[in-house]
Amino acid sequence: MDKDGPSVHPSAIVHPGARLGSGVSVGPFSIIGEHVTVGKNTRFDAHAYVEGCVEVGENCHFSPYSMVGTEPQDLGYKKEETALLIGDRNIFREFVTLHRGTGKGGGKTVIGSDNYFMAYAHVAHDCRVGDEAVLGNAASLAGHVTVGDYSYIGPFSGIHQFCRVGIYAYIGGYSVCTQDVLPFCRVAGDRPPRLYGTNAIGLRRRSFSKERVNEIKGMLKILLYSGMNTSRAMAALKEKYPSGADRDELLSFIAASKRGFIKKTAEKWESGSE
């Protein structure tokens, strides 16, 4: 190794076939498998475990006891070659578990960049996580879940397989989501989970203007609080808001929904108030 090469603790085990970029750090007792590729300046703390076909980007941080690229928890998995792809600048805290994909699910679990996974968070097979999302402690994604950019999933929450979480969505702690979560919304609870209006605070923290937030509130009121069914509400929304990226995001998300989306509102919001 040259001075700019990876730094590997003497107690770590790195397979000769693994490819580690410059500045990579592998801590004590960590194990890096044969088919692993790691971008520059990524850090593995003590006892990290990485196996299978795994590609990790640059400047990621894996805390102790991270389990990365292990086999999917799927009874239909037949040892086929599948992959886990991870972008740049992600933080994975203690005991996070990230599983490879399955052959029937497309073969890949994909995680974008700049995400934060708190301790014990779980990403199952064939999931797709966007950019700048946060998963709280022990938040769990079942197989084939899609998580949009800038979303937040609270501690000890579970997302049912094949569900989607829209961009800028906020899911409160201890929630169980068995349907899609609309973009820009707040959801919490279980049996069933309920919708608590617009994620206004989160949107403002992302530099949304007051006017833009109010427009999103208006669209969601038509969709959720007007008393119309979804088809009529979508038509009314298109009529009142003829164009716009946020409008298109909502409409395309609903059109692509296969499990339906959470629309049962909390009692305080049923009047349509914000």
Which residues are designated catalytic?
A: 125-126, 143
Alpha helices in 210-263 (DSSP H): 210-225, 230-240, 245-255
Q: How many helices (H) and strands (E) does the chain have?
A: 4, 28
Buried b (16+ CB within 10 A) or exposed e, 137-165: bbbbbbbbbbbbbbbbbbbebbbbbbbbb
Complete DSSP assignment for 11-62: T-EE-TT-EE-TT-EE-TT-EE-TTEEE-TT-EE-TT-EE-SEEEE-SS-EE
Residue 274: partners with Cβ closer than 8 Å, 6 or more residues away: 197, 198, 200, 217, 221
Q: Give the C-alpha separation, 173 to 7, whole Å.
A: 38
